[in-house]
Amino acid sequence: MGRGGVVRGAAGIALILAGVCAAAAQDDPRLPQGPNRNLVLRRCTTCHDISNLFSTVGKTREGWDSKLDDMVLYGLEITSQERTLILDYLATYLPKQ
């Protein structure tokens, strides 16, 4: 494969990955509106579909904090400020009933 083929191949892969990321970050109307919702959508869909949140709904703040620990171990990269904002959202809008 010539140099042009490699460049076209790399560009094709980049487009595919961009499409996958865009599809993963799609909004889910079941996710309640509230502060930091978009941050949750962006960060939580880097590895899985947002519907996974609904299978884990009903956690206490401590439960969500532990789940974030798990996600960081799986490779989630978030700042401490982002973690606090995500935790606030999850504990407020997807709490244990």
pTM: 0.70
In single-letter form, the type of residue at position 86 comes to: I
Domain count, the chain: 1
Beta bridge partners of 59: 95
The 3-state DSSP class for residue 60 equals coil
Contacts of 37 (CB under 8 A, 6+ apart): 31, 89, 93
pLDDT at site 40: 94
How would you write the pLDDT of the chain (97 residues) with one tens digit per residue?
Answer: 556 555 565 554 544 544 444 444 568 888 899 999 999 999 998 888 888 887 777 789 999 999 999 999 999 999 999 999 999 999 999 888 6
The separation between CA 25 and the C-alpha centre of its own chain, rounded to angstroms, equals 7
**Residue ranges making up the domain that contains 62:** 3-93
